[in-house]
Chains A and B, each alone.
Chain A
Amino acid sequence: MTTDPRSKVVLAVDDSPEDLALLNAILMGAGYAFVGSASGEDCLSLIHRCTPRLILLDIQMPGLDGIETCRRLRENPQLKTVPIAFLTARKTRGDVREGLAAGGNDFIAKPINRDTLLQRVQHWTNHRVAVPKAA
């Protein structure tokens, strides 16, 4: 398993350009390859061209929200083992339950804290998630 972050692509989906710029700066500054996407729809189209090591998903977005985007990403067999972390200012018990049911693996709280973010990104880019067994 490689630990060199340069070989790891992190895809972030967020409708806020300011948050995407900050994520780009933090992750590129730490040596990760970064791809930003401004919407769930854009992410679903982009995902056919690059398979990231980790997907960071905002929940509240116009159009497809993060939960629905996550559900659709999980329908793609190529993405079954790619970790998905919700990066969101919403973290009620209901949000967490819904996010996990949609196939998410983690919740990272916003506002963005650089140290926390890098810790979670390092963790998830070194892990693949288990494919759920068919019933």
Chain B
Amino acid sequence: MDFDDSALAGLQEALPVAEFRELLADYLASMAAPLSQALALGEAGNWKDLAFAAHTLVSTSGSYGLTRASALARDLERACQAGHGGEAAALLPELVASATRGAAALRARFLGDRVAA
């Protein structure tokens, strides 16, 4: 599952609508940069720094409900730590694709935007 809306349901109830929407909009606006950074590190074969970047993605993507991206980021972190470059390189596009789909689903669910076809 790319997006699990239950991760944010409790917070939606606890926060004023505008604040909740702003939090999610800020996250969506910020998420492209670490993914681009991860891709660049992968292209450069910098597995050590990519493991660090993947670790951050495990947390942030999972915390905002992008469960599949979080799981893929954890696999990526482990592959990088083990020096399995081929596996890491294969996981990267899958991670970016899942995060992109998850972000679209999050936007559609909580910000009322349509998911692009």
* A interface residue numbers (CB < 8 A to B): 15-19, 21-22, 25-26, 29-30, 60, 62, 89-90, 110-115
Contact = CB atoms under 8 A, between A and B. Distances in A.
Given A16-B60, A30-B14, 10 more contacts: A15-B56, A18-B26, A18-B63, A25-B23, A60-B56, A89-B74, A111-B7, A111-B59, A112-B59, A114-B10
B3 interface: no
Nearest to B56: A16
A16 B10 CA distance: 21
Contacts, number: 65
A67 to B, nearest CB: 15
A18 B30 CA distance: 8
A110 B27 contact: no
A112 B64 CA distance: 8
Interface string B4-43: 0001001100110001100100110011000000000000
Interface residues of B, number: 24
17 contacts: A16-B56, A16-B59, A17-B30, A18-B27, A18-B30, A18-B63, A22-B63, A25-B15, A25-B20, A30-B14, A60-B56, A89-B55, A89-B74, A111-B59, A111-B61, A111-B63, A114-B11
